[in-house]
Amino acid sequence: MRKFLRVFYRPVEKFFNNLRFRHKFFVLYFSCVIIPLIVTDAIILNAVYQQEINTIKYDMEYVAGVYQNYFENMLSSDVTLAESVNMNPKINDFVVNRYDTGYDFVSEYYDVINDSFLETTSGLNRNSIVIYADNDTMLDSQFVKKLSGVYTQKWYQDFIKSGRKDLISAYYDVDETNEFRSKRKFYYVKRMDYERESGVAKLVVIGHDSSTLQSNLKSFNSKYPAYVIIDDYVVFSTLGDSIIYREQVNLKNKNNVVKSVTIAGAKVDIIIVNEERIISSAIKDNWEIGLLLIIFTVIVPFFMLSVIENTVIKRIAILENAFGSEKTNTFNSIKNVEGNDELASLMNKYNRMVDITNELVTTVYKDKIKEQESDIARQKAELLALQSQINPHFMFNALESIRMHSLLKGETETASMVDKLAVMERQNVEWGRDFVTIKKEIESIEAYLALQSYRFGDRLSFDIDVEKDCELYEVPKLTVVTFVENACVHGIESKATQGWIFVRVYKGEKELFIEVEDTGEGMTEDKVKEMVKDIEEASIETIKNRKHVGILNACLRLKMVTGHTVKFDIESEEGVGLSVIIRIPLDKLKKATEVE
């Protein structure tokens, strides 16, 4: 047994060792308080629930029995009354006789009515008692009418279709022309077969007034919704006249009480519906006990748990946070240590340890970092010094010699080209700086376009317009030249006719605008979108994986020095040209004190 408990105990212990203190207390609370409370309350609630069910079922059964007795008595009375009319020989003779004149009929009619029970029974919980006979010599009156006049009535059609001797017919007579004339109909119909040899079809029909029926049934004062349904028609509903058909009643409720009466071929269903929530009703009746249970089994334990959390868990959290994070690599002292228990003693010892540890971190770790930073700065300075020493002065001396020899030989055009090339190369190989003024950049552009003019001849023309106030702003070296080179190579070079390149630099209210426009071949809309996407997603990694990186390199450098605030607007039309507008916020640019 102990071995079994040990096997079970070890995984549980391991599980709890991985839980935080707060979670451990909550597990304790739920396992020792909440779960027993749920089990106990479930037993109590189930007993209350069963008692409520039995009480409600008894009440519903009683109400259903009252409605059942009412309908049984009413329908039994209809059957007895109809049979009395059927067995009355004087009434049978009256409805089968043939009358020569209306006077003869009326004279005989009052004699029969006064001598029978029809007048005394009509109106007693009924709307009408009418005898219908297939005798055209009769006149329609209160108690006797021609059968031919009801051939279209639904109750008559139901009776003929059933083939029975008697029938209960209930339906809702819909008047489509006037909804206020629509009425509930409820009839008991019986065939009069006392004298068959007469050959005259006779029916006795007992009709019930729907308003009287509703009034009588509502007088029972049922607190539950009640329905009386014959076939698919609701004869009576405690919810009013809006409930007409069976499908409107919730028959799937398992709490319903249903009683049925079968009379004259009709099944009368009496349905009592319980729509109340029994549990909520029980809670309302016993709310004082429920409140005490909540106070002593939930609120009090939860309050004690909060107190323990404040004295233990929160102080452990303070101690944990005091150790700092991996990013800071520091330990923080705990201020205002409260209490005299084991945790307070641990916090005080921790504070003493923090003083020693932080001092060691300051003297060893931080000093080492500073030393490493100094080494890196020194190495960078040495690298720049080395780079500055390898400027190819010999190349400029060689270019100058070529230019001078060209002048001596009278080749002024060649000398000019060499001079322009020297200007460009001098800017390309200067290692110490990455920024130049707009004026210097424009000088490189003018040299580049002049060289390209020698190549293209009359096919290339250019115009450069720079506002005087923009010349001292500094931009990354060779960024604008790159866009001009792109305009020459991809715009003008592939065009057979003359092309122009325009370079404009001007200042707006908050931005510096640099425009490079050409009248070359241009690009398709898809190519422009692809170019914009490449510029937006430009990074060091993407440049490493590309062949042609001039434009992306320039854009990336501009984005890096402006904190990604520079904007590039590109517009192009195939066969017309391309326009690039670079918008740089002025607060991201430095301005030289004087033109170099």
Query: Which helix (H) or strand (E) element contains residue 50?
Result: helix 35-87
Q: Find the helix packing angle between 342-360 and 314-322, rounded to 10°.
A: 10
What is the side-by-side strand order in the sheet with 202-207?
Answer: 144-146, 128-133, 202-207, 183-191, 166-173
- Give me the pLDDT at residue 184, please: 77
Question: Does position 432 have pLDDT exceeding 60, yes or no?
Answer: no
How much is the pLDDT for 113? 81
Share of the chain above pLDDT 90, in %: 11
Instruction: Give the tens place of pLDDT for each residue, 504-516.
Output: 999 999 999 999 9
> What is the model's pLDDT at position 569?
93
Measured distance CA(118)–CA(432) in Å, rounded: 129
pLDDT at residue number 580:
94
The predicted-structure confidence for 577-587, as pLDDT tens digits, reads as follows: 999 999 999 99
Q: Which two tokens stand for residue 555?
A: 């854009």
Q: Give bridge partners of residue 506 from the DSSP assignment.
A: 513
pLDDT bucket at 334, cuts 50 / 70 / 90: confident
Q: What percent of the chain has pLDDT over 70?
A: 69
Query: Residues 9-32: what's their mean pLDDT?
Result: 69
Query: How many C-beta atoms lie closer than 10 Å to residue 558's C-beta?
Result: 24
Contact yes or no for 452/537 (Cβ under 8 A): no
pLDDT for the residue numbered 203: 92
Q: What is the mean pLDDT of residues 117-125?
A: 61
Q: What is the pLDDT of residues 389-421, one digit of tens each?
A: 334 444 444 455 555 656 666 666 666 666 666
Query: Taking the C-alpha atoms of 357, 360, 362 and 368 in order, what is their torsion angle to the nearest 10 degrees?
Result: -130
d(CA 227, CA 242) in angstroms, rounded, equals 12
65-79, 304-318, 371-385, 409-423: range with highest mean pLDDT: 65-79
What would the 3-class secondary structure string for 319-387 be?
HHHHCCCCCCCCCCCCCCCCCCCHHHHHHHHHHHHHHHHHHHHHHHHHHHHHHHHHHHHHHHHHHHHHH
What average pLDDT does this structure show over 115-134?
Answer: 71
Average pLDDT over residues 267-282: 69
CA atoms of 193 and 196, how far apart (whole Å): 6
Compute the average pLDDT of residues 104-118: 81
Domains of the chain by start residue, with CATH: 55-272 (3.30.450.20), 286-373 (no CATH), 433-588 (3.30.565.10)
Q: Contact 388/369 with Cβ under 8 angstroms?
A: no
Q: Which range among 161-170, 311-320, 354-363, 381-390 shows the weakest confidence by mean pLDDT?
A: 381-390
Residue spans of alpha helices (H) in 88-101: 89-96
pLDDT class for 281, splitting at 50, 70, 90? low
Amino acid at 125: N
pLDDT of residue 393: 41
For residue 507, the model assigns a pLDDT of 93
Q: Is 197 helix (H, G, I), strand (E, B) or coil?
A: helix
Task: Looking at mean pLDDT, say which of 18-27, 430-439, 504-513 comes out highest.
Answer: 504-513
User: Looking at 192-332, which runs of residues are DSSP E strands?
Assistant: 202-207, 226-230, 233-237, 257-263, 266-272
Mean pLDDT of 101-123: 78
pLDDT band at 233 (very low <50, low <70, confident <90, very high): confident
Cα–Cα distance measured from residue 516 to residue 501, given in angstroms and rounded to the nearest whole number: 7
Res 429 pLDDT > 70:
no
Give the pLDDT score at 518.
Answer: 92
Can you name the residues that pair with 251 across neighbouring β-strands?
A: none
> pLDDT: is 242 or 272 the higher one?
272
Q: What is the pLDDT of residues 200-220, one digit of tens each?
A: 889 999 888 777 777 777 777
Least-confidence region, from 161-165, 244-248, 338-342, 461-465: 338-342
- Given a cut of 90, is residue 517 above it in pLDDT? yes
Average pLDDT, the chain: 76
pLDDT higher for 319 or 595?
319
Q: Is the pLDDT of residue 162 over 90?
A: no
Torsion of CA 447, 451, 453, 457, to 10 degrees: 160
Q: What is the pLDDT of residue 324?
A: 59
Q: What share of the chain is helix, strand, coil (3-state, %, to 5)?
A: 55, 20, 25
Q: By three-state DSSP, how is residue 16 classified?
A: helix
What is residue 196's predicted lDDT score, i.e. its pLDDT?
A: 65
- Whether pTM > 0.85 for this model: the answer is no
61-79 pLDDT, tens digit per residue, is 888 888 888 888 888 888 8
| Ranges 34-48, 242-256, 419-433, most confident | 242-256
Tell me how far CA of residue 499 lies from CA of 224, 243, 488, 518, in angstroms. Answer: 95, 88, 9, 7
